[in-house]
Amino acid sequence: MTCLAVVLLLALVVVAALFAVTYRTIDQRSGRDESRPADVILVLGSAVWPNEQPSPSLRARTQRAIQLYHEGYAPHLLLSGGLGRYPPEEAEVMRRLAVEAGIPQEALFLDKEAHSTWESMQKAREIMEQQGWETAIVVSDPFHMHRSLLMAGDAGIQAYGAPALDSSTYTVPARRGFYTSREVLALWWYLLQRTFNPA
């Protein structure tokens, strides 16, 4: 075996080990619910399907936020998500679900511009500062919680995680494995950006 082959093999082993450690970290965090009283419930968007229907992920996130609202954890919902492949905006679809569930319009704040988790956190911070809010419960799919809370902290938001544990990205093993694996790469990319392009 040549020196180059040995180096490549060692590099592959290191990457595989790092991947496994990161995967475990994300998966362990995914099932942890930190729900506690806060100023607002921040719901991160997911895909809208054809005919203005929420994807299963978007529905699960919104239903979790609705549950938290009705249980009295926070008096406001901040719904974040812009226009994706199909209209309308993710935030608008969440708003409709929330109103159908009996949440008053005045309790709902919409961010229809964000197209990434980081954009959602930046816009959420702006709205929270305008409203005088300090704490937020972040709702998203379980695989997304670790990175979402890391970004929330980096954006200056005091946040607690409330994963949507009913989402099929968590309850279906194959989907849980796929989305958690994909999230490993997303987390690595964010950490690289944060390291070389600090805010």
With a cut of 50, list the residues of the chain below it in pLDDT. Answer: none
Q: Where are the domains of the chain?
A: 29-194
Tell me, letter by letter, the H, E, C secondary structure of the chain. Answer: CCHHHHHHHHHHHHHHHHHHHHHHHHHHHHCCCCCCCCCEEEEECCCEEHHHEECHHHHHHHHHHHHHHHCCCCCCEEEECCCCCCCCCHHHHHHHHHHHCCCCHHHEEEECCCCCHHHHHHHHHHHHHHHCCCEEEEECCHHHHHHHHHHHHHCCCEEEECCCCCCHHHHCHHHHHHHHHHHHHHHHHHHHHHHHCCC
Q: What pLDDT, on the 0 to 100 scale, is given for residue 92?
A: 98
Q: What pLDDT, on the 0 to 100 scale, is given for residue 199?
A: 58
CATH number of 29-194: 3.40.50.620
pTM: 0.93
Q: What pLDDT, on the 0 to 100 scale, is given for residue 1?
A: 66
Q: What pLDDT, on the 0 to 100 scale, is given for residue 150?
A: 98
